[in-house]
Amino acid sequence: MVLQAAPSGNIEARITSLLARMTLDEKIGQMSQSTSMKTPLSEQIKSEIRSGRWGSFLNAGSPQDRAEAQRIALKESRLGIPLLFGRDVIHGYRTIFPIPLGQSASWDPDLIEQAARIAAHEAFADGIRWTFAPMIDITRDPRWGRVAEGLGEDPYLASRLAVAMIHGFQSDSLSSTGAIAACVKHYVGYGAAEAGREYNSAWIPEGQLREVYLPPFQAASDAGVATLMPGFNALNGVPATGNLFILRKILRGEWNFKGMVVSDYTAIPEMIQHGYAANTTDAARKALLAGVDMEMVSTTYFDHLKTLVEKGVVDRRAIDAAVRNILRLKFQLGLFDQSPPVLVEPLAPEALEIAKRLATESMVLLKNDAHLLPLSKSNGKIAIIGPLADSPVDQMGTWAMDGRASDVQTPLAALREKLGDARVLYSPGLKNSRDLSRDGFKDALQKARMADVILLFLGEEQILSGEAHSRAFLDLPGAQEALVNEIAKLGRPIVTVVLAGRPLTFHETAAKSKAILFGWHPGTMGGPAIADLLFGDAVPSGKLTITFPRTVGQVPIYYAQLPTGRPASSSDLGIPLGNPVNPVGYTSKYVDVDFTPEFPFGYGLSYSDFKYSNLRVSAPRLRMGGLLTLAADVTNTGAVAADEIVQLYVHEDVASVSRPIRQLKGARRLHLRPGETVNVQFPVTTKDLAFYNQKMQLVTEPGTFHFWIAPDSVRGMEGKFIVE
């Protein structure tokens, strides 16, 4: 018989009724996800859908295939349980937005939410109701390829932006037209992989785990995220997929998470390679008992859970609990009620406008000597050189499954449209970012000689970042540095635009460039955004959410480091400081490179200037449970209207556990006209100042706190207050 969804009624009661009708095979089928749907649908897949073999499909089938498969599930299976179609909608569907790390540099939750909503609507129209995003792993190691998918190194900012993405994907209700279920990943510590090597183990003390890596996931849980995915990694020796501490104690126990947990791609049997499970039977048992509701792609659940239940090794109630979580999501999404198809125009004008705005806000001006930028729109020839000036696929970045190169507007195309063909001289110089051949140098140099200004488009192509694309070196790959060296000899002013999926080390290129714009992989509308920024039709406002090292040897490097007993000082800057036999000053530094980053967290320049003044505290003392306000005036002292991202940092002088030298506790994006002053206020409660003590208790301890209202993590106006 086919169970029809009632027009109203309590979801939990409907789930209970449905569970009572399901066989054990059908329940385990709901716990199984496949990628095996091909075009057109095979008779085998149709038969399996009718029998309830699969509860979900991942990245599978055309929209027409998915519609037909769903019809079969609803109309021809015994109980009419719908399928759940998931897809990696990471930073856009057809309209591709900047990579998430780039989006985070906008510090703009509202705009990021709008982008996620557009992606959800485009995916929804093609039958997708579940995305495996956002990725909210905190990482402080740019060697890790998936840094491109994350939201930076800071838990406060990542938490805010994660919630914005979740709201964008899920809308006000999962049953809303255009809403898709979000899935936060990878829980937890995946971004702390040793040596930045993909899938590697992470060793994280519990205090650091709770203060740095868990907060974005807790914020997501509190925000009602529908699903969660454990990481591939082992955390402190226990694979996340079978980790009772993080999945049972913290996620389900402390946070009371009610959503569904799905494994990562074949992560359950991979616990055998970890040395944590003896075989696939053992892996299935451990994953289920840890709280993994659905298995992605691999089949250990379907192969072994029935036997484990029949032998009494696994309690049927564990199966029912997992299936309840899956069915609840399907009811919440309204999948039991077939709705008419929704038509959404891909690449709609409003989608492209948001994509352009987000690309514009995400780009970070790292250098602008002698105010070279913005360039003149009316005078001189421009040489556009480099392998990434006209490379649509690379511009989309990692995890752009449904983006099309033909949709992408490149910098070359946008600059030609803005300036006219006569002013633009183009030569790629290299075939791609990894090209070692110098065959293209001659043409590039010839074009550069004819120009008044040279625009270099450098960086790393799409395939050099993302999953399984860790890098041991962070420099510009291929012969890009050699190309820069040759062009620099011409003596023309150089503007370097870097397109990449991670922070790169390009110190020598930076020294030869008068201006540097870091554009990340900016997506469909990256070209027009870059053109507007270079020529002053838009003003740079992005600020880094991850620290840029001077060299890979500084990694991991991040702003919220703990103080040391022998801190380095400004007098330790400058090379050489000494040598390994006779070092100068026994402080925490290097003898062969400055200890400071190339570009710090929170850093980014503008075409305007901002003055911070009139720092004040609403009260000098803050009692436990109370609130005070920290404030300052910010004035646009420049000649153009511009955005400034104002940041609040705090530090407690003395505590039972050493506290980071600075911690981000607030941020505001302001738009200021020339001469305009805005009073920026940050409310702070004692809860905002809490940390985990040596007993793993969340406490706020009395003491003196310093704070900075600042343009980045190394500058700012400093004040203090006392918590009593």
Catalytic residue ranges:
264
Neighbours of 585 (CB within 10 A): 13
Of 158, 164, 88, 91, residue with least CA distance to 130: 88
Burial of 317 (0-12, 13-18, 19+ CB in 10 A): exposed
Q: Tell me how far the alpha carbon of residue 517 is from its chain's centroid.
A: 20
Buried b (16+ CB within 10 A) or exposed e, 181-215: bbbbbbbbbbbbbeebbbbbbbebeeeebbbbbbb
CA angle 382, 386, 388 (to 5 degrees): 110
DSSP state for residue 311 in the 8-state scheme: T
Question: What is the CB-side half-sphere exposure of residue 280 using CA atoms within 13 A?
Answer: 12
Residue listed under structure tokens 């040489």: 383
Q: What's the CA gap between 396 and 403, in Å, rounded?
A: 7
Q: What's the CA gap between 349 and 347, in Å, rounded?
A: 6
Of 216, 241, 255, residue with least CA distance to 134: 216
Q: What's the CA gap between 25 and 19, in Å, rounded?
A: 12
Q: Report how far apart, in Å, the C-alpha atoms of 682 and of each of 87, 128, 215, 603, 629 are.
A: 39, 40, 20, 20, 6
Please, are residues 660 and 642 in contact by the beta-carbon 8 Å criterion? no
DSSP state for residue 645 in the 8-state scheme: E
Please, are residues 456 and 441 in contact by the beta-carbon 8 Å criterion? no
